[in-house]
């Protein structure tokens, strides 16, 4: 039940509890089942090689098992000590081994004299076995890389894909109407201050005095400067 609740918390829409329990059991056993299926596909490929190769059984059986064992080790060896760098070597080995099995099957059927519908029926049967095992192997490798953190998740920006929410810029402040009456009152106050300062400066200016005319001693006594008492 804990797994079911955890799955429900991951935005799963379970409307049938019986289906939820069944699906939870499948997903719980799916990794181990997938791994055993890959091992079984290796065994089937080895048996197919033993049947197709015209060699004695004491040679074909150990050689086929050795090839599939080396394939298994080469595919899963990058997970032996993952160092954070993902390579395409496991996928390349798995695809190459599958193609090699297909060519081997094709040539072996031709060597046995299979032609026409008989050839294609056997070849398509072997191709389905080899191809599906390769797809399963590639998916298992990809999920392993994701679990080890060797693959970085990328956010798609295409239409229809889930996009990360973008941070909206802060809205600009709404301009407020200026206080006309307050500005007029301030201007009138400044004008009154200027007038008061001008009036104070005018009151402090000293008044100009009339120049004094110096009179000579002769003019003051009614006599001219020639000493006879009369003006010339």
The answer as to whether 55 is a domain residue is yes
Q: What range does the domain containing 36 cover?
A: 31-147
The answer as to whether 1 is a domain residue is no
64 close to 46: Cβ distance less than 8 angstroms:
yes
The answer as to whether 10 is a domain residue is no
**Number of neighbouring beta carbons within 10 Å of residue 101:** 26
The answer as to whether 126 is a domain residue is yes
Is the pLDDT reported for residue 220 higher than 70? no
The alpha helices in the chain, defined as continuous H runs, are 2-9, 17-52, 57-76, 89-111, 116-147, 180-203, 217-221
Average pLDDT over residues 161-186: 63
Reported as a single tens digit per residue, the pLDDT across 111-162 is 888 888 888 998 898 889 888 988 998 998 888 888 887 776 665 444 444 4
Please report the sign of the dihedral spanned by the C-alpha atoms of residue 30, residue 32, residue 34, residue 37: negative
Tell me the CA distances in angstroms from 229 to 28, 212, 226, one per residue in order.
151, 26, 8
Number of domains in the chain: 1
Reported as a single tens digit per residue, the pLDDT across 80-119 is 777 777 778 888 888 888 898 888 888 888 888 888 888 8
Distance CA 112, CA 107 (A): 9
Is the pLDDT reported for residue 232 higher than 50? no
The answer as to whether 83 is a domain residue is yes
Reported as a single tens digit per residue, the pLDDT across 6-41 is 444 456 788 888 888 898 888 899 989 999 999 998
Tell me the CA distances in angstroms from 123 to 100, 115, 133, one per residue in order.
13, 10, 15
The answer as to whether 8 is a domain residue is no
The answer as to whether 98 is a domain residue is yes
The answer as to whether 203 is a domain residue is no
State the pTM of this model. 0.56
Distance CA 75, CA 89 (A): 8
**Number of neighbouring beta carbons within 10 Å of residue 36:** 10
């Amino acid at each position: 039940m804990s797994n079911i609740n955890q799955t429900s918390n991951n935005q799963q829409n379970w409307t049938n509890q019986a289906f939820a329990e069944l699906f939870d059991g499948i997903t719980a056993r799916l990794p181990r089942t997938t791994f055993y299926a890959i091992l079984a596909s290796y065994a089937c490929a080895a048996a197919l090689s033993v049947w197709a190769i015209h060699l004695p059984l004491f040679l074909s059986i150990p050689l086929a098992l050795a090839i599939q064992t080396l394939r298994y080790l080469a595919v899963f060896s990058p997970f032996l000590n993952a160092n954070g760098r993902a390579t395409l070597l496991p996928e390349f080995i798995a695809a190459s081994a599958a193609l090699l099995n297909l060519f081997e099957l094709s040539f072996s059927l031709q060597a046995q004299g299979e032609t026409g519908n008989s050839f294609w029926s056997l070849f398509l049967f072997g191709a389905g076995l080899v191809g599906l095992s390769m797809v399963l192997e590639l998916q298992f490798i990809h999920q392993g890389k994701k679990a080890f953190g060797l693959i970085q998740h990328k956010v798609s920006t295409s239409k229809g894909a889930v996009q990360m929410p973008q941070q909206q810029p802060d809205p600009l402040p709404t301009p407020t109407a200026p206080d006309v009456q307050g500005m007029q009152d301030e201007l009138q106050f400044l004008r009154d201050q200027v007038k008061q300062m001008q009036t104070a400066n005018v009151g402090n200016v000293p008044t100009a005095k009339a120049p004094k005319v110096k009179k000579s001693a002769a003019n003051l006594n009614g006599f001219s400067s020639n000493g006879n008492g009369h003006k010339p």
